[in-house]
């Protein structure tokens, strides 16, 4: 059957806040219905472009097709209904949960590998250093990129699309994780703190923004390619 272009309708629904899963299902149903209409027009003696145009007219205009879905507010995504929570509170909460989980994993590793005291194994020292680095540098970038992808996928307004990643880029740059390994049992210490804005913090913010921007650009390009393939 002829390929029905619904990219304008898809964008209209996404920008109106309809959840992507509902948009995909609705467009799939429309394409199936269009194929039925096209077969009917062909059976009536039309062919080629004439049959296509007749079937498209019977399907309805983009505005009419959008109205049927926009009239159902329950189909709107959570991020469209509560953008302040999804892109303001959720990124901070997720970063905090990831750091908390990482701290618990690190504490467990330290207890298991150093229960009797003595010198710390080199692999533990390396693992702890890498883990601390990840919490300070990798976690904020990953969380920021996740929320950018969520917003870009749903065509959220630019102010929310930028605010979540930018918030985490700045907040994540102020996180400092420090681990002190002592050869004496029970004397090792771990701390997570927030530092004030300094030249080093500013540089970390800049690095975070650049990394998030690079990851976001890659996702945007992939999304455009996928959009073109499915529209």
Provide the angle, in degrees to the nearest 10, between the axes of the packed helices 158-173 and 90-113: 30
DSSP-derived 3-state class of residue 229:
helix
97 band by pLDDT with thresholds 50, 70 and 90 = very high
Main-chain dihedrals φ then ψ at residue 119, nearest 5 degrees: -60, 145
Is the same domain home to 112 and 152? yes
Separation between Cα atoms, residue 231 and residue 229, nearest integer Å = 6
Same domain, 83 and 171: yes
Mark whether 133 and 162 lie in a shared domain.
Answer: yes
Nearest to 210 by CA among 134, 137, 157, 154: 137
Which of 45, 75, 105 delimits the end of a domain?
75
Q: Please state the rounded mean pLDDT for residues 179-203.
A: 76
The H-assigned helical ranges of 6-157 are 7-15, 20-43, 48-59, 62-70, 78-81, 83-84, 90-113, 122-133, 139-153
Question: Structural domain tally of the chain?
Answer: 2
Of 75, 98, 131, the last residue of a domain is 75
Indicate whether 135 and 218 sit together in one domain: yes
Inter-CA distances, 43 with 36, 40, 48, 217, Å: 11, 5, 12, 47
> Is there a domain that residue 144 lies in?
yes
The pLDDT tens digits of the residues spanning 145-172 come to 888 888 888 888 878 888 888 888 888 8
Q: How many angstroms separate the CA atoms of 59 and 115, rounded?
A: 71
Q: Can you tell me whether residue 145 is helix, strand or coil?
A: helix
Confidence category of residue 116, pLDDT binned at 50, 70, 90: low
What's this model's pTM, rounded to 2 decimal places?
0.71
Tell me, yes or no, whether 113 lies in a domain: yes
63 and 87: one domain?
no
Q: Which domain holds residue 131?
A: 79-230
Same structural domain, 177 and 162: yes
Last residue of a domain, one of 56, 75, 94: 75
Tens of pLDDT, residue by residue over 55-83, are 888 888 888 899 988 888 888 888 888 88
Task: Flag whether pLDDT at 227 surpasses 70.
Answer: no
**Mean pLDDT of the 31-58 span:** 88
142: in domain: yes
Query: Is the domain of 215 the same as that of 128?
Result: yes
Which whole number is the average pLDDT over 97-121? 77
Report the distance separating Cα 186 and Cα 183, nearest Å.
9
């Amino acid at each position: 059957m002829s390929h029905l272009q619904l990219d304008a309708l898809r964008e209209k629904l996404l920008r109106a806040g309809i959840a992507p899963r509902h948009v995909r299902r609705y467009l799939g149903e429309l394409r199936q219905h269009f194929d039925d209409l096209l077969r009917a027009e062909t059976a009536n003696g039309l062919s080629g472009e004439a049959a296509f145009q007749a079937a498209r007219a019977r399907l309805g205009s983009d505005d009419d097709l959008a109205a049927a879905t926009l009239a159902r507010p329950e189909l709107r995504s959570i991020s469209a209904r509560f953008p302040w929570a999804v892109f303001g509170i959720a990124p901070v909460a997720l970063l905090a949960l990831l750091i908390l989980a990482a701290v618990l994993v690190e504490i467990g590793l330290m207890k298991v590998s150093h229960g009797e005291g003595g010198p710390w194994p080199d692999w533990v020292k390396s693992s702890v250093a890498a883990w601390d680095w990840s919490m300070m540098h990798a976690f904020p970038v990953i969380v920021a990129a996740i929320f950018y992808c969520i917003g870009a996928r749903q065509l959220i307004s630019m102010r929310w699309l930028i605010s979540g990643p930018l918030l985490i880029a700045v907040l994540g740059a102020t996180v400092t994780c420090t681990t002190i390994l002592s050869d004496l049992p029970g004397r090792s210490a771990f701390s997570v703190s927030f530092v004030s804005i300094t030249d080093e913090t500013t540089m970390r913010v800049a690095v975070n923004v650049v990394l998030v921007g690079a990851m976001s650009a890659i996702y945007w390009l992939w999304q455009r390619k996928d959009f073109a393939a499915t529209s």
